[in-house]
Chain A
Protein backbone atom coordinates (compact mmCIF):
# COMPACT_ATOMS: atom_id res chain seq x y z
CA UNK A 1 0.00 0.00 0.00
CA UNK A 2 1.09 3.59 -0.64
CA UNK A 3 1.96 5.36 2.60
CA UNK A 4 1.00 9.00 3.03
CA UNK A 5 3.04 10.85 5.64
CA UNK A 6 1.38 14.09 6.63
CA UNK A 7 2.94 16.95 8.57
CA UNK A 8 2.62 18.68 10.89
CA UNK A 9 0.18 16.80 13.08
CA UNK A 10 -1.02 20.08 14.48
CA UNK A 11 -0.38 23.77 14.07
CA UNK A 12 -1.60 27.02 15.46
CA UNK A 13 -1.86 30.19 13.41
CA UNK A 14 -3.40 33.62 13.56
CA UNK A 15 -6.15 35.13 11.48
CA UNK A 16 -4.84 36.44 8.19
CA UNK A 17 -1.73 34.25 8.20
CA UNK A 18 -0.75 31.70 5.55
CA UNK A 19 -0.16 28.08 6.50
CA UNK A 20 1.14 25.07 4.60
CA UNK A 21 0.38 21.42 5.25
CA UNK A 22 2.38 18.70 3.53
CA UNK A 23 1.94 15.09 2.52
CA UNK A 24 4.74 12.84 1.36
CA UNK A 25 3.83 9.82 -0.72
CA UNK A 26 5.92 6.65 -0.41
CA UNK A 27 5.95 6.36 -4.20
CA UNK A 28 4.94 8.29 -7.28
CA UNK A 29 1.19 8.96 -7.28
CA UNK A 30 1.22 11.03 -10.45
CA UNK A 31 -0.61 14.06 -9.00
CA UNK A 32 -3.49 11.88 -7.81
CA UNK A 33 -3.83 13.60 -4.46
CA UNK A 34 -6.88 15.00 -2.74
CA UNK A 35 -7.23 17.24 0.29
CA UNK A 36 -10.18 17.24 2.66
CA UNK A 37 -11.31 19.46 5.51
CA UNK A 38 -13.21 18.15 8.51
CA UNK A 39 -14.67 20.46 11.10
CA UNK A 40 -15.57 19.10 14.54
CA UNK A 41 -18.80 17.13 14.40
CA UNK A 42 -19.07 17.54 10.65
CA UNK A 43 -18.49 15.40 7.59
CA UNK A 44 -15.23 15.70 5.64
CA UNK A 45 -15.42 18.10 2.72
CA UNK A 46 -13.41 17.75 -0.48
CA UNK A 47 -11.21 20.78 -1.07
CA UNK A 48 -8.77 19.80 -3.80
CA UNK A 49 -8.28 16.86 -6.13
CA UNK A 50 -5.64 16.00 -8.72
CA UNK A 51 -3.17 17.84 -6.46
CA UNK A 52 -4.25 21.34 -7.47
CA UNK A 53 -7.82 21.35 -8.81
CA UNK A 54 -10.17 23.28 -6.58
CA UNK A 55 -13.50 21.63 -5.86
CA UNK A 56 -16.54 23.71 -6.78
CA UNK A 57 -17.49 26.17 -4.05
CA UNK A 58 -14.15 26.02 -2.23
CA UNK A 59 -12.64 29.47 -1.56
CA UNK A 60 -9.66 30.43 -3.68
CA UNK A 61 -7.52 30.97 -0.57
CA UNK A 62 -7.06 27.18 -0.64
CA UNK A 63 -4.49 25.91 -3.11
CA UNK A 64 -2.56 22.74 -3.75
CA UNK A 65 0.84 22.10 -5.26
CA UNK A 66 3.37 19.34 -5.70
CA UNK A 67 7.05 18.71 -5.95
CA UNK A 68 7.96 15.15 -6.79
CA UNK A 69 6.21 12.98 -4.24
CA UNK A 70 5.67 15.88 -1.82
CA UNK A 71 2.27 17.54 -1.92
CA UNK A 72 1.26 20.74 -0.20
CA UNK A 73 -1.96 22.45 0.81
CA UNK A 74 -1.66 26.19 1.33
CA UNK A 75 -4.30 28.25 3.05
CA UNK A 76 -3.94 31.99 2.58
CA UNK A 77 -5.48 34.74 4.68
CA UNK A 78 -6.66 32.37 7.41
CA UNK A 79 -10.20 32.90 8.58
CA UNK A 80 -11.88 31.65 11.74
CA UNK A 81 -13.91 29.08 9.81
CA UNK A 82 -10.69 27.41 8.64
CA UNK A 83 -10.15 25.84 12.06
CA UNK A 84 -10.46 22.16 11.25
CA UNK A 85 -8.58 18.95 10.64
CA UNK A 86 -7.14 18.54 7.17
CA UNK A 87 -6.11 15.29 5.60
CA UNK A 88 -4.70 14.15 2.31
CA UNK A 89 -5.60 11.05 0.31
CA UNK A 90 -3.92 9.46 -2.66
CA UNK A 91 -6.37 8.49 -5.39
CA UNK A 92 -3.82 6.87 -7.68
CA UNK A 93 -3.97 3.23 -6.68
CA UNK A 94 -5.82 0.69 -4.59
CA UNK A 95 -6.31 0.87 -1.76
CA UNK A 96 -6.73 4.64 -1.52
CA UNK A 97 -4.79 5.73 1.56
CA UNK A 98 -4.95 8.76 3.79
CA UNK A 99 -2.52 10.94 5.66
CA UNK A 100 -2.74 11.06 9.43
CA UNK A 101 -4.34 14.49 9.49
CA UNK A 102 -3.35 17.99 10.57
CA UNK A 103 -5.33 19.82 13.22
CA UNK A 104 -5.32 23.54 12.53
CA UNK A 105 -6.13 25.82 15.42
CA UNK A 106 -6.64 29.55 15.20
CA UNK A 107 -4.98 31.68 17.85
Chain B
Protein backbone atom coordinates (compact mmCIF):
# COMPACT_ATOMS: atom_id res chain seq x y z
CA UNK B 1 0.00 0.00 0.00
CA UNK B 2 1.30 3.40 -1.01
CA UNK B 3 1.50 5.81 1.93
CA UNK B 4 2.97 9.26 2.38
CA UNK B 5 3.60 10.15 6.02
CA UNK B 6 4.20 13.83 6.64
CA UNK B 7 5.84 15.51 9.59
CA UNK B 8 3.86 17.14 12.36
CA UNK B 9 2.52 20.64 12.90
CA UNK B 10 5.00 23.50 13.08
CA UNK B 11 4.88 26.89 14.76
CA UNK B 12 7.42 29.41 13.54
CA UNK B 13 8.26 33.08 14.03
CA UNK B 14 8.10 35.47 11.08
CA UNK B 15 11.38 35.53 9.20
CA UNK B 16 12.37 32.02 10.15
CA UNK B 17 12.31 28.87 8.03
CA UNK B 18 10.81 25.42 8.32
CA UNK B 19 11.58 22.06 6.73
CA UNK B 20 8.75 19.59 6.18
CA UNK B 21 9.22 15.91 5.46
CA UNK B 22 7.22 13.37 3.52
CA UNK B 23 8.23 9.74 4.00
CA UNK B 24 7.02 7.34 1.35
CA UNK B 25 6.27 3.69 1.88
CA UNK B 26 5.00 1.02 -0.47
CA UNK B 27 7.08 2.28 -3.38
CA UNK B 28 10.43 3.82 -4.21
CA UNK B 29 10.38 7.61 -4.43
CA UNK B 30 12.85 7.43 -7.33
CA UNK B 31 10.08 5.96 -9.49
CA UNK B 32 7.75 8.98 -9.34
CA UNK B 33 7.81 12.76 -9.19
CA UNK B 34 6.73 14.25 -5.86
CA UNK B 35 4.50 17.33 -5.78
CA UNK B 36 3.93 19.81 -2.98
CA UNK B 37 0.66 21.69 -2.64
CA UNK B 38 -0.38 24.54 -0.33
CA UNK B 39 -3.87 24.79 1.12
CA UNK B 40 -5.44 27.78 2.79
CA UNK B 41 -9.22 27.60 3.23
CA UNK B 42 -9.77 31.12 1.88
CA UNK B 43 -7.40 30.66 -1.06
CA UNK B 44 -7.93 27.03 -2.02
CA UNK B 45 -5.18 24.77 -3.27
CA UNK B 46 -1.98 26.08 -4.87
CA UNK B 47 0.67 24.00 -6.56
CA UNK B 48 4.17 24.73 -5.26
CA UNK B 49 6.30 22.46 -7.41
CA UNK B 50 7.67 19.00 -7.95
CA UNK B 51 10.91 17.16 -7.49
CA UNK B 52 12.22 14.14 -9.36
CA UNK B 53 13.94 12.25 -6.53
CA UNK B 54 15.89 10.15 -8.99
CA UNK B 55 18.07 13.04 -10.16
CA UNK B 56 17.00 15.99 -8.01
CA UNK B 57 15.44 17.92 -10.87
CA UNK B 58 12.88 20.41 -9.66
CA UNK B 59 10.17 22.60 -11.13
CA UNK B 60 8.47 25.37 -9.20
CA UNK B 61 5.48 27.60 -9.64
CA UNK B 62 6.80 31.08 -10.28
CA UNK B 63 5.41 32.52 -7.05
CA UNK B 64 7.17 29.88 -4.95
CA UNK B 65 10.58 29.94 -6.63
CA UNK B 66 12.20 32.01 -3.91
CA UNK B 67 10.04 30.62 -1.11
CA UNK B 68 10.28 26.83 -1.38
CA UNK B 69 13.19 24.45 -1.82
CA UNK B 70 12.45 20.83 -2.65
CA UNK B 71 14.89 18.05 -1.90
CA UNK B 72 14.83 14.29 -1.49
CA UNK B 73 16.83 11.62 0.32
CA UNK B 74 16.59 8.37 -1.58
CA UNK B 75 18.27 6.41 1.22
CA UNK B 76 15.35 7.14 3.53
CA UNK B 77 12.72 7.32 0.77
CA UNK B 78 11.80 10.80 1.99
CA UNK B 79 11.05 14.08 0.26
CA UNK B 80 11.49 17.45 1.90
CA UNK B 81 10.29 20.99 1.42
CA UNK B 82 11.95 23.95 3.08
CA UNK B 83 10.09 27.25 3.30
CA UNK B 84 12.15 30.33 4.00
CA UNK B 85 11.56 33.91 5.19
CA UNK B 86 8.23 32.91 6.64
CA UNK B 87 5.37 35.38 6.87
CA UNK B 88 1.76 35.09 7.94
CA UNK B 89 0.94 34.33 4.29
CA UNK B 90 2.77 31.03 4.71
CA UNK B 91 0.36 29.87 7.42
CA UNK B 92 -1.29 26.91 5.69
CA UNK B 93 -1.50 23.16 5.40
CA UNK B 94 1.07 21.69 3.05
CA UNK B 95 0.57 18.40 1.23
CA UNK B 96 3.02 16.18 -0.55
CA UNK B 97 1.52 14.10 -3.35
CA UNK B 98 2.89 11.44 -5.65
CA UNK B 99 2.63 12.12 -9.35
CA UNK B 100 0.82 9.75 -11.69
CA UNK B 101 2.25 10.69 -15.03
CA UNK B 102 3.32 14.26 -14.50
CA UNK B 103 0.61 16.55 -13.19
CA UNK B 104 -1.98 14.12 -11.81
CA UNK B 105 -1.58 13.34 -8.10
CA UNK B 106 -2.55 9.80 -7.18
CA UNK B 107 -1.50 9.59 -3.54
CA UNK B 108 -1.38 12.35 -0.97
CA UNK B 109 0.12 12.79 2.45
CA UNK B 110 -2.08 13.72 5.37
CA UNK B 111 -0.92 17.32 5.31
CA UNK B 112 1.35 19.31 7.59
CA UNK B 113 0.16 22.45 9.31
CA UNK B 114 2.49 25.44 9.45
CA UNK B 115 1.56 28.42 11.60
CA UNK B 116 3.61 31.59 11.40
CA UNK B 117 3.05 33.90 14.33
CA UNK B 118 5.02 36.19 16.57
Contacts and interface: CB of A to CB of B under 8 A. Distances in A.
Interface string A68-107: 0000000000000000000101011011111111000000
A96 B103 contact: yes
A96 to B, nearest CB: 5
Interface residues of A, number: 22
Contacts, number: 54
Contacts of A89: 45, 103-105
For chain B, which range describes its interface: under 10, 10 to 19, 20 to 34, or 35 or more residues?
Answer: 20 to 34
B110 interface: yes
Nearest to A87: B45
Contacts of B4: 43
Interface of B: 4, 44-47, 59, 61-62, 95, 97, 100-111
